[in-house]
A and B are shown apart, each in its own frame.
Chain A
Amino acid sequence: MEQLTDNEALLSYTLHVNGHDRAVNDALLSENLLYVLRERLGLRGSKNACEQGECGACSVLIDGRLECACTVLAAGAAGREIVTVEGLTPAGDELSGLQEAFLAEGAVQCGFCTPGLIVSVHDLLERTPDPTELEIREAISGNLCRCTGYGRILAAVKVAQDARHP
């Protein structure tokens, strides 16, 4: 694309995503991390449902911290460690224990919120291996789901939690 205005320069920078350096060329400064992940790097697992940090569908980990990619300037994430749902997905046909639990327990309907929930719950179980039900509810209260009413999602989290402590 051409430069739109004098005061919005096109930038080139490198993002560190899922363990790899990814070059971003000639991007607008105003592009948020979600847009760059999806449209420039082809990582469309992070979803765009609200673009204001309310729904959690674009949840990613940045330097180990759970963030909504839509509220982070992409250029500002250069030099930081970014993990997306793709980075939490085993190669090939394998699923992570959490993904397997979501599938088995019926936690997926339309699936638009699912990748964000996979990232959020992964983060929860890493920080709090044995959450109570209320802790789970609080941890995923930043991830909106319109289909399930959360019942099967909670069931899946509990199954995944139990599977981590054989």
Chain B
Amino acid sequence: MTTLDTPTQAATIAVTPDGLGRSARRPDGRPKVKGQFAFSSDLEAEGMLWGQLLRSPHPSATIRSIDVSGAWRVPGVLAVLTAADVPGRKTYGLDYPDQPVFASDVVRYAGEPVAAVAADHPVTARLAAEAIVVEYEVHEPLTDSVLALGAEPVHPLGNTLYRQTIRRGDPAARGAVSVEGTYETGMQDQAFMGPESGLAVPAADGGVDLYVATQWLHVDQDQIAACLDLPLDMVRVHLAGVGGAFGAREDLSMQVQLCLLALRTGRPVKIVYSREESFHGHVHRHPAHMWYRHTADADGRLVSVEARIIFDGGAYLSSSTAVTLNAACFANGPYNVQNAFVDCTAVRTNNPPCGAMRGFGAVQVCFAHEAQMDKLAVALSIDPIELRLRNAYAPGDQLIIGQVLSGTAPVAEVIRACAAAPLPPGGPDTAAELALPGGAGRTADRARVRRGVGFAVGFKNLMFSAGFDDYSTARCRLEDGRVTITTAAVEVGQGLVTVMQQIARDVLGVDDVALGEASTMGIGSAGSTSASRQSWMTGGAVDTACRAVRERLLSSVAQRFEVQRAGLELSSGRVLSVDGSLDLSLAEAAGGAVLEETAVFRHPGTVALDENGQGDAHVSFAFAAHRAVVDVDLDLGLVKVVEVATAQDVGRVLNPVQLIGQLEGGISQGVGFAVMEEIVLDDGKLRNPSFTDYIIPTALDMPPVTIQALIEQPEPGSPLGAKGAGEPPSISSTAAVVAAIRNATGLELPRAPVRPQDIALLLAEQRPAGSTDISPAPPAKEASP
């Protein structure tokens, strides 16, 4: 079942092959399948050196001394840098520069850079970095986020990174039924495949050209230039091929240190992180502790929600502000409630810094609010789907921040569609060996495998919120009949490059659309490739620029050929008049002129929340529902996710194949977070910084995804009618999988990811002494149809 409302621009879609609505192929696909696409780690330059960072092994320490002489004794070393070599601002940061380029006096997390070297071979560089002697006075690290607010400050700015409270309605209001719970989510890693890497090339003007995989070129440029003490135009940031991002490339990684090495040596320098360094070198998803109390009336309508949430932000701010804001705003999920009291704080600790990851802030709270909804359903003896439907937002409803849902909000539609998906056939008794929990040979006894079904709904904002001046810039150039689109927007794999071409094809009626280099040179910011914003924002800018070129072209033809502008059409690369008198190629129509238009697209303004956490902070919202089916080995605690079904609010489908890829990929990260993915810390130190020990889903772990419905209700205000689709698949899929495991085991499972011991040990404890029957209590109720 696919619910299809007629998109507003349907007339222009239908006529353009590979225009919007079609599964146009990605323009970078050919080099990618041939192994010829240049990722940031594939770059090379004449005379290139290799850079290497030295990182602190301690999560908390005072640096007594740094002796770099050992590094200089390694043959082939050309530069050794420490904090003293940073000419400009010594710190950087997305929201506020609280993170040192190099630690000089204290280190605040294990993995913090202390020095950097450049050498003629990566092995030389590594040996030289290891030869630097840093004398540390090691301190007891602050690693428990719950204790952080009362602890010694980790940083001069204190241990409160950001706090967002929401106070709405009557604090004394209570419904007849109350449910309470404390929930936890772990630290997830983005685990993109292409490690952090870049190439810095010193320029004749004393500046530097940096080729790097990032998510926002201009915000990198701002931070790098401040640290290098160079004017912006001397720090030219070029996008190199990005091997996935998922939020981990929003913050700077080695950009500043790499540029410093190139400027110091006067030679191109390349840094490629190892996987271990990558785990230490980027932010992670905030772990969360969440206490919730919901009350509802006897009909199951929510009366109140209270939530206290603590996020571990690690040592530095990163994007904790936006993550905390989101968690507070979406703390109750897509459900109406008049009385809401939410207190969400991101705290500073000596753990690795946390920041953006797909669905930031919304993922954690969704795990809690959906567990609460299931508890409430049991307490009220109401079907959990029905309970969600009774409370679901609809257009015109108010969020807990008081903002009215002025756009589309097909919450009931995604719930109904997803719940209606047929359950997968068969069961653990008939599954192939390889498809049992744990894969081949693990499950000893099929009869001890139980199937469970779970359901969850989530939502979050699209684009940047809370008064941020969010915009994107795009240029359309028509020269000799050839269309070129240039933006600084970052393609991370999501397929924006395809969508930009599709837009230009529709507006200008051409098949071939070239894409200019994404860089900070000669084009304004496109904003970040995050918050599901690029199809809307850069899509809007490209659409506007192309329409301006089209208008100039047709007006000039009308003038030169003395025909009515209204009687001219652009189709299949030709300008035609409806009366048949004109049929010009684009080059002829332009009459030798180069037509170029640059457009800046802004979404409608938002405001910061007031002291009660009230205000129109967001632009638009996207909703999704997930239903998971799992098989659980009760003895070993292993889980096989059998299927995930979904329905998602997408506004309008711009490219069906790419959209499906976003849903399947996002769900795989949600499945991973539910049952296997967690950064394990021991006294602040990462214990599993490798793909051997940090497990992400393989093709055997990842279940088939059933896309039951793509709800197309074009979003008013969205330039193409579409809503960002990248994050919603990762929001409620984790909650749905864990709900399914609860359904199979009867356990409460208040923590994600669910580890084998969370199941097997608890079930073993429930056995009466001496009993050999280890079957669980039957689930209280089927979780969903």
Nearest 10 Cβ contacts at the A-B interface: A45-B35, A110-B493, A111-B32, A149-B668, A112-B243, A149-B664, A106-B657, A109-B493, A112-B193, A115-B35
Q: Please, which residues of chain B bring their CB within 8 A of the CB of A148? A: 661, 664-665, 668
Interface residue count for B (Cβ, 8 Å)?
Answer: 69
* Residues of A in contact with B (beta carbons under 8 Å apart): 1-4, 28, 30-31, 35, 38, 42, 44-52, 54-55, 57, 84-86, 89, 95, 99, 102-106, 108-115, 118, 134, 136-138, 140-154
Q: Please, which residues of chain A bring their CB within 8 A of the CB of B29? A: 102-103, 108, 111
User: Which residues of B (648-673) have their CB < 8 Å from a CB of A?
Assistant: 657-658, 660-661, 664-669
Provided the pairs A111-B493, A137-B699, A144-B691 are in contact, do residues A49 and B195 lie with their beta carbons within 8 angstroms? Answer: yes
Q: Does B489 contact A (CB under 8 A)?
A: no
Q: Does B692 contact A (CB under 8 A)?
A: yes
Provided the pairs A49-B275, A54-B692 are in contact, do residues A95 and B33 lie with their beta carbons within 8 angstroms? Answer: yes
* Residues of B in contact with A (beta carbons under 8 Å apart): 23, 25-26, 28-30, 32-39, 41-42, 44, 74-76, 120-124, 127, 190-195, 241-246, 272, 274-275, 432, 434-435, 492-495, 657-658, 660-661, 664-669, 690-692, 696-700, 702, 704-705
Q: Is the CB of B705 within 8 A of A47?
A: no
Provided the pairs A1-B121, A134-B434, A146-B191 are in contact, do residues A102 and B33 lie with their beta carbons within 8 angstroms? Answer: yes
Task: Give the distance in Å from the alpha carbon of A57 to the alpha carbon of B37 in the complex.
Answer: 14
Q: Please, which residues of chain A bring their CB within 8 A of the CB of B28? A: 111
Task: Give the distance in Å from the alpha carbon of A137 to the alpha carbon of B432 in the complex.
Answer: 13
Q: Is the CB of A141 within 8 A of B76?
A: no
Q: Is the CB of B700 within 8 A of A118?
A: no
Q: Please, which residues of chain A bring their CB within 8 A of the CB of B23? A: 106
- Closest beta carbon of chain A to B221's beta carbon, Å: 23
Q: Is the CB of B661 within 8 A of A112?
A: no
Q: Is the CB of B699 within 8 A of A136?
A: yes
Q: Please, which residues of chain B bring their CB within 8 A of the CB of A84? A: 35
- Closest beta carbon of chain B to A9's beta carbon, Å: 14
Q: Is the CB of B34 within 8 A of A95?
A: yes
Q: Please, which residues of chain A bring their CB within 8 A of the CB of B244? A: 109-110, 112, 146-147
Task: Give the distance in Å from the alpha carbon of A136 to the alpha carbon of B63 in the complex.
Answer: 52
Q: Is the CB of B435 within 8 A of A147?
A: no
The one of B492, B696, B699 in contact with A153, judged by C-beta atoms closer than 8 angstroms, is B699
Q: Please, which residues of chain A bring their CB within 8 A of the CB of B668? A: 146, 148-150
Task: Give the distance in Å from the alpha carbon of A2 to the alpha carbon of B123 in the complex.
Answer: 11
Q: Is the CB of A99 within 8 A of B665?
A: no
Q: Is the CB of A137 within 8 A of B35?
A: no
Chain A residue at minimum C-beta to C-beta distance from B657:
A106
Chain B residue at minimum C-beta to C-beta distance from A145:
B193
Chain A residue at minimum C-beta to C-beta distance from B127:
A4
Of the A-B pairs whose beta carbons lie under 8 Å apart in the complex, a sample of 9, sorted by A's number, is: A48-B195, A106-B658, A110-B242, A110-B245, A111-B29, A115-B35, A144-B193, A148-B661, A152-B661
Task: Give the distance in Å from the alpha carbon of A95 to the alpha carbon of B194 in the complex.
Answer: 24
Task: Give the distance in Å from the alpha carbon of A57 to the alpha carbon of B710 in the complex.
Answer: 32
A42-B44, A44-B35, A103-B25 are known; give 6 further A-B pairs, CB within 8 A: A45-B36, A89-B34, A108-B33, A138-B700, A146-B244, A150-B699
Q: Is the CB of B664 within 8 A of A138?
A: no
Q: Please, which residues of chain B bring their CB within 8 A of the CB of A103? A: 25-26, 29-30, 33
Q: Please, which residues of chain A bring their CB within 8 A of the CB of B492? A: 110
Task: Give the distance in Å from the alpha carbon of A45 to the alpha carbon of B272 in the complex.
Answer: 16
- Closest beta carbon of chain A to B643's beta carbon, Å: 12
Task: Give the distance in Å from the alpha carbon of A34 to the alpha carbon of B195 in the complex.
Answer: 15
Q: Is the CB of A2 within 8 A of B75?
A: yes
Q: Please, which residues of chain A bring their CB within 8 A of the CB of B669? A: 146
Provided the pairs A141-B698, A145-B193 are in contact, do residues A48 and B272 lie with their beta carbons within 8 angstroms? Answer: yes
Q: Is the CB of B243 within 8 A of A111?
A: yes
- Closest beta carbon of chain A to B37's beta carbon, Å: 6
- Closest beta carbon of chain A to B374's beta carbon, Å: 25
Chain A residue at minimum C-beta to C-beta distance from B668:
A149
Most buried by A among B23, B30, B33, B121: B33
- Closest beta carbon of chain B to A157's beta carbon, Å: 10
- Closest beta carbon of chain A to B548's beta carbon, Å: 31
Q: Is the CB of A152 within 8 A of B660?
A: yes
Task: Give the distance in Å from the alpha carbon of A60 to the alpha carbon of B6 in the complex.
Answer: 48
Most buried by A among B35, B244, B705: B35
Q: Please, which residues of chain B bring their CB within 8 A of the CB of A114? A: 32-33, 35
Q: Please, which residues of chain B bring their CB within 8 A of the CB of A145? A: 193, 699
Chain A residue at minimum C-beta to C-beta distance from B128:
A4
Q: Is the CB of A111 within 8 A of B699?
A: no
Task: Give the distance in Å from the alpha carbon of A151 to the alpha carbon of B29 in the complex.
Answer: 17
The one of A31, A49, A95 in contact with B30, judged by C-beta atoms closer than 8 angstroms, is A95
Provided the pairs A4-B123, A50-B691 are in contact, do residues A144 and B34 lie with their beta carbons within 8 angstroms? Answer: no
Chain A residue at minimum C-beta to C-beta distance from B276:
A51
Q: Is the CB of B42 within 8 A of A44?
A: yes
Q: Is the CB of A30 within 8 A of B123?
A: yes
Q: Please, which residues of chain B bring their CB within 8 A of the CB of A47? A: 39, 41, 193-194, 243
Q: Please, which residues of chain B bring their CB within 8 A of the CB of A138? A: 434, 699-700
Q: Please, which residues of chain A bring their CB within 8 A of the CB of B696? A: 144, 146
Q: Please, which residues of chain A bring their CB within 8 A of the CB of B243? A: 47, 49, 110-112
Task: Give the distance in Å from the alpha carbon of A146 to the alpha carbon of B358 in the complex.
Answer: 12
The one of B39, B76, B274, B699 in contact with A143, judged by C-beta atoms closer than 8 angstroms, is B699
The one of B127, B274, B495, B700 in contact with A109, judged by C-beta atoms closer than 8 angstroms, is B495
Q: Please, which residues of chain A bring their CB within 8 A of the CB of B664? A: 148-152
- Closest beta carbon of chain B to A126's beta carbon, Å: 18
Task: Give the distance in Å from the alpha carbon of A51 to the alpha carbon of B34 in the complex.
Answer: 21
